Structure 1
Amino acid sequence: MQTAMVLTVTLNPALDRTMIVPGFREGAIYRAQEVYYTPGGKGINVSRILHQLGTSSLVFALAAGHIGLLLLDLLRREGLALDFMFLEHGETRINTTILDPESGIETKINELGPWVDQNAVEGVVKRLATLLRPGLWVVLSGSLPPGAPEDLYARLIECIHERNGAVALDTSGPPLALGLEARPRLIKPNRVEAEGILGRAIQNVRDGGIAAWQFARKWGCQVLLSLDQDGAVWTDGCEIWWARVPRVQIRQSVGAGDALLGAFLHFSLQGFPPPKALRFAAALATAVTISGEIARFRADDLESVLAQTSVEPL
């Protein structure tokens, strides 16, 4: 395999189970119309998108038990380059999405994941240090496993900086707040995550642009803010661009935000200027929601959505 241009880190991966249940309501008994099992975790989804676009990446993941072994096997079948670190105890989690195709409403039930102790944390730091090199983009994304310190991403960002790498951070809550203090190159919050840090609602695109600009100015990073069907905003604290995407029939949205980040990195590494990379990334993320698969897109969907996607300054 060629040398990876991106290293994705998923410390709390999952086996994603998507169940299609027409008319789903709580408190009743249903038969699922369709069920899909997909290796999941935000970093894994980013690598899946990069693989489809032709950018090489390496998946680093922390896994455990029989579900962890199944996850490893399924990812090998996808052709992804892998570096798994297995815990001695516990089981990799299963995350369940119940989608009602009649209403378009998704219900998500996420497990916590296996517990990690201090020895496992130190093992992660040491293993990652061996994978780093100057110029490598490292994507730190998703939740931390139970037992991991909330400043673990901040610690990893400092380690990556010491080796002249670039960091994209996509997480939430305290790990995001603490990670911001370590100055990642790029962050990819969604609307809810940004609201949690700023302490106020983002009600429209203009609010999103202001929020992204404030993040960029305060923490000196690029910001790629996803706004669901309102598209996405990118800023470096100077320019602010908004990608307007068409309204589509969403089959499922798991992995759309990861697709946005993966595609933006891919097109940026190809030398595209930020507005153009943003347009392609927002269109591809929208195409993922049409596909019905996690972090996958069809070329004809992308072509159709791209023709209806525009970018404009805010």
Structure 2
Amino acid sequence: MSGLSATAPAVPRKAEGSRKPRKSKAGWNLLGLLVFLSTGFPVYWMLNTAIKPAKDAIDPDPSLLPTGFTLDNFRRALNIADFWGPVGRSLVVSLTVVVIGIVVGMLAALAISRFAFRGRKVVIVGILAVQMVPLVAMIIPVFLLLNDLGQYDRLTGLIITYLTFILPFTVWTLRGFIVNIPKELEEAAMVDGCSRTTAFIRVVFPLLAPGLVATSVYGFIQAWNEYLYALMLMSQKNQTATVWLGNFTTKHGTEYAPMMAGSTMMAVPIVVLFLLVQRKMAAGLTAGAVKG
């Protein structure tokens, strides 16, 4: 009897302890659902407006549910101005920025992380300081500089401009990954007969894959979605995809349904890229990007 009485109170305690994690998990699930709805609603509204008749897109009493289905908005978006030209230029600029940014950023991050040189801390502080400068404040200096170099209204000038914005983030993020990779791995490979370059390619580079994917996606999205500098530095003849969306706004008003159709088509490359690398990107954003 004494044994039964001693163990009896433990039963309700265990039940209470098992309920708390369930309530906590339900709360986090509810919070996640609210975040998903708040971030996903603009995408839903874009798709809903893109497939509904143009007259319903400007209805003062809009409906949350689709009121019809039509592809006329996509046809209008393709016919209002040259679509494939701006999209092709945006792809060229974005991919070039990603390739150059990854190569230069990886080498710079390796130098900062693995080698001790005079002014190393100044370089690290400078990388952080550059990211704090508002992009709007540099429009006039960048315009004057590119004009003096003969790079105004050229894709090469736009690529150089985007690299100055993306490289600091790339260097800082990849530095966090390289710092987390023990130097002993490279030293062991060099003891086995590898040169420093071979040790980096065979040991360090595979471990950097998540960070390279994360920074590549970030750089691609930044270059693809950038609007202000593309508008100021490129003429209408060489406009990019984001500037192309401005063709739907005229003195007679804004064609919202075709604009949403154009935005939907522009979002396809980003969505496809994210679906292809989502696992690597998630690992890259959490594995070592916050390492100091």
TM-score, normalising length: structure 1:
0.21
Structure label with greater radius of gyration? 2
Judging by fraction of residues, say which structure has more strand.
1
TM-score, normalising length: structure 2:
0.22
Judging by fraction of residues, say which structure has more helix.
2
